[in-house]
Amino acid sequence: MIASVSVVRARQLRLLSRFTVLLLSGVGLWMSLNYLNVHVERFEQLFQRLGVLFANRYYPPDLEYITRPGFLKSVLETIHMAFLAALIGLLVSAPLAWLASFNVSPFPKMGYPLARLLITTSRAIHEMIWAIIFVMIVGYGVLAGVIALTLSCIGFSAKLFAEEIESIAPGPVEAVKASGASPLGVFLFGVLPQVKTAWIGISIYTWDVVFRASTVVGFVGAGGMGWYLRRAADQLQSDRVAAIVLLIVALVACSELFSFYARKRFHG
């Protein structure tokens, strides 16, 4: 009897504590909505307004606009930017991840924290902000976009690369080390074979992320089709915005399909 009473009691306590947490988060949410000046009552009108907006302004999309040669050239430029940034970013990420993994880092004293700092910083700052900063430094155009995308690529892939290295089996590393190999030899023959498959998967995923970002960095003048998006949005030509967004969705879907097949091919 006593046991069942205490079980009931514990259950009541648990329910009470859960209820309290829920209540507190609700109050917190309500207070922050008030603080942010968000009128929740507008939420019900939102769908109606979105419907009217899409029906009147975004529809029909101006499909003629996205077939103009000038725009198509910017699409090609976007793809080029993503390719260059992903290529450079991945090439830099591989040695950077090697430096930034605590178990096999060749320079654990200096290189490890430096590489970590570099990865964390490029990860913490959004690619749009990188794009703005590099537009300020090197001027409008493709170069600023490529640098910004490269940094965001490094922040993304180097972290995942390093996590893969940190979870490898120590045996092969010890074996290569015992045979008297240099740190580079240890990396090439003890580490790389173990992470190769995972790295290819991560690289393909990184391509998706970089390509998605490349469609909008032009928004701040860093090359590619984003500039056309900005212009259409600023001039309230919503039918053009709709066409460009549709094209972006289609391009990203194509790129994801491509990565899907690439991943399937490499993972067997």
Partner 1 sequence: MPQTPPHPHPVSAQRWLEARRRRWRALGALLLLLTLLTWWTVSSSLLPGTDWQRMGGLPAILVTVGRFLPPDLSLIPNLLQPALDTVLIAIIGTVLGSLISLPVALLGARNLAPLGRFGYLLARALMTLSRSVHEIIWALIFVSAVGLGAFAGILALACRSVGFISKILSEAIERIDPRPIEAIQAVGGSRWQVVLHGVFPQILPITVSTIIFEWDVNMNRAAVLGLVGAGGLGLAFYNQIIASHYNGVTTVLLAILAIILIGELVSAFLRRRMV
Q: Within 13 Å and on the Cβ side, how many CA atoms surround 73?
A: 4
Distance of closest approach, residue 91 Cβ to partner 1, in angstroms: 10
Q: How far apart are CA 256 and CA 260, in angstroms?
A: 6
| One-letter amino acid for residue 249 of the chain | V
Give whichever of 27 and 129 is closer to partner 1, judged by the CB atom: 129
Distance of closest approach, residue 139 Cβ to partner 1, in angstroms: 4
What x/- string results for residues 80 through 109 when contact with partner 1 is judged by CB under 8 A?
xx-xx--x----------------------
| Residue from 6, 20, 32, 167 binding partner 1 (CB under 8 A) | 32
Angle at 27 between CA 22 and CA 32, to 5 degrees: 125
Residue 118: how many other CB atoms lie within 10 Å: 18
27 sits near partner 1 (criterion: CB under 8 A): no
Is residue 209 within 8 Å of 156, Cβ to Cβ? Answer: yes
Give whichever of 87 and 177 is closer to partner 1, judged by the CB atom: 87
Give whichever of 30 and 107 is closer to partner 1, judged by the CB atom: 30
Q: Which stretch binds partner 1 (CB under 8 A): 29-37, 95-103, 107-115, 162-170?
A: 29-37
Region 40-59 residues binding partner 1, contact defined as CB under 8 A: 42, 46, 49-50, 53, 57
- Whether the link from the prior residue into 60 is cis, omega within 30° of 0, is yes
What x/- string results for residues 148 through 167 when contact with partner 1 is judged by CB under 8 A?
--------------------
Q: How far apart are CA 51 and CA 46, in angstroms?
A: 8
Contacts for 198 with CB less than 8 Å, ≥ 6 apart? 164
231 sits near partner 1 (criterion: CB under 8 A): no
| Residue from 94, 114, 133, 181 binding partner 1 (CB under 8 A) | 133
Distance of closest approach, residue 262 Cβ to partner 1, in angstroms: 12
| Residue from 220, 228, 240, 259 binding partner 1 (CB under 8 A) | 220
- Tell me the three-class secondary structure of 5-67, residue by residue: HHHHHHHHHHHHHHHHHHHHHHHHHHHHHHHCCCCCCHHHHHHHHHHHHHHHHHCCCCCCHHH
Q: Give the number of residues in contact with partner 1, rule: CB under 8 A.
A: 57
Q: Which of 244, 154, 247, 166 is nearest to 203 (CA)?
A: 154
Residue 219 per-residue DSSP state: G
24 sits near partner 1 (criterion: CB under 8 A): no
33 sits near partner 1 (criterion: CB under 8 A): yes
Q: How far apart are CA 213 and CA 226, in angstroms?
A: 10
Contacts with partner 1, residue ranges (CB under 8 A): 29, 32-33, 35-39, 42, 46, 49-50, 53, 57, 76-77, 80-81, 83-84, 87, 120-121, 124-126, 128-129, 132-133, 136-144, 146, 212-213, 215-216, 219-220, 223, 229, 233, 238, 241, 245, 248-249, 252-253, 256
